[in-house]
Structure formats: C-alpha cells, structure tokens
Structure 1
Amino acid sequence: MQQLPHTSPLTAGTAGVQLVHDLLVHVPAFRGAYESHVFRQGGVLPHVFFWDVVQGTVRSYLAEEAEPDWRRTLDFLEERSSRGDTAVDEVIVTSFLGDLPSPTEPGHGIVQQLGPVMAAKFVRIRPGG
C-alpha cells in the first residue's frame, strides 16, 4: 500500500491537504479517486478532489455503489466540521456542501442525512436547499 506524503504544518494548504489524507484513512474507498486526482493534477488540490468525494458519496447514497460508504463520509466530515478549523471548513463548506445535489437532482435527500453542524452550515450557504 502506497504511503501518503507527510504534510508539514508550514506547507501551503496544509489543512486542506491533511483533510484529504485523513479522509483516505477514514474512508479508504476514495483511494482510487485520490490516485487518479494526484496523477491528473500533479498533486493534491483539496477543493478539486472534493468534487470526486461529492460524486462518490452521492452515488453511494443512491445505492449505485456500496463504496465509498456515504455514512462514513458524512460522519467524518461532520466530526471535522465541528472542530472550528476555518481552513478545513472552507473546503467542506465550499467544495462538499456547496456541491451537493440541488432539490431537483437525484440524491438531494442526502442533505437530510447531514449531522447538525454540517446541516447548519448547509442552510447558511443554501437556504433554499
């Protein structure tokens, strides 16, 4: 198994990159998407990678794919959202919550499954759903 690169606290974008690496530990099914992302982008771009996280999570929610388990993903992101790290929140709010399906799209019901911290953030950025 390939090791994830170590991220020092002084590296630009550290919090977002660390969020991605921690997600891979918690939800290893994102490993393939991560490896493809790193190959295409030449490194980790958390906001870009989270598009793949949204897509995989919604597919799992719709039962099109068993993995990555949408519950594990939401649990992980809820826990990270509750820490108050603004850099992590920026990635989660902008590139996960902001990209969840709209009310007219399949999978919008996942919004009802968000934990209290992410649900509150979701309502602030998308009051209409």
Structure 2
Amino acid sequence: MQLVSDLVAHLPEFRDVYEKHVFHQGGVLPHVFFWDVVQDTVRSFLGEGPSAADWRRTLAFLEEQSCRGVLGVDEVIVTSFLGDLPSPHEPGHAIVHQLPPVMAARFVRIRPRG
C-alpha cells in the first residue's frame, strides 16, 4: 500500500518495523503494520522511545494524508491508527488532544468518549 511506503520514506525510523513485517509476513499488511506505528508514536509522545520517529512528525504526516481523502488511506488511518490510540485510562491518552484538525474530527466520530 502506498501509505505505508510513503510513511517509511518520510519517516525512516519506521524502516525496521517495515522490514520485520516484510520478513515475517512476506509483505506488509497495513492494518497490522499500523499497530506498531501507534505503539512507537505513543512511546515517542511519552518520551520512552528515543529511537522512535518524533510523534509530531508522524501526526503531521498522517494529517497530510488524511486531508487527501483517499478511501483506503482514510480507512487505515481511522481504523488502525486513531482507533488504536490509548483509551482514557491508559498511558499516552493525552496524545489525542494533540491530534491535528482532520484527524481530531475523525477521532471524535469513532470514539466520542475518548
């Protein structure tokens, strides 16, 4: 999927995760790959992932992609990124208050209670 390729090109910190997926699965399943993107992004937000891509850059990239309105891209970002962000009782939930406008609106639609 182009979204995964573009993410890795824009944020090379995700290359190791990408290569592990390719090795173990013979390719990349975007929804599975994005579970790791969420985990690394939240670790970065919490200051626990010194080698992870900066969470601000990840959110900015995903916001840019969200603004394009490409159906498959939106599905992956909404379902497998926004939908997997920490719940209110989990560490890192405050990242939802940092979501850029388009992603924030989509997050509220899928998870109105946070």
Tell me the TM-score range normalised by the shorter chain.
over 0.9
**1:8 is matched with which residue?**
none
In structure 2, the residue corresponding to 1:22 is in which secondary structure? helix
- How far 1:65 sits from its partner (Å)? 1.3
CA distance in 1, matches of 2:64, 2:57: 11
Matched, 1:113 2:98: yes
Matches within 5 A, 1:1-129: 17-66=1-50, 67-129=52-114
Is contact 1:26–1:72 with CA below 8 Å preserved after alignment? no
CA distance in 2, matches of 1:22, 1:86: 16
Structure 2-normalised TM-score?
Answer: 0.97
CA distance in 1, matches of 2:55, 2:3: 17
Q: Write 1 or 2 for the structure with the bigger share of helix.
A: 2
CA distance in 2, matches of 1:18, 1:47: 13
Deviations 1:7-64 (A, max 9, x none): xxxxxxxxxx100000011111000011011111110110110000000000000000
In structure 2, the residue corresponding to 1:68 is in which secondary structure? coil
Structure 1-normalised TM-score?
Answer: 0.86
The one-letter code sitting in structure 1 at the alignment partner of 2:43 is R
CA distance in 1, matches of 2:90, 2:97: 14
The one-letter code sitting in structure 1 at the alignment partner of 2:96 is V
Unaligned runs of 5+ in 2: none
CA distance in 2, matches of 1:71, 1:118: 13
Identity %: 74
Aligned length: 113
Unaligned runs of 5+ in 1: 1-16
Greater CA radius of gyration, 1 or 2?
Answer: 1
- How far 1:71 sits from its partner (Å)? 0.6
Superposition RMSD in Å:
0.6
Write out the 4+ residue segments of structure 1 that deviate beyond 6 Å after TM superposition: none
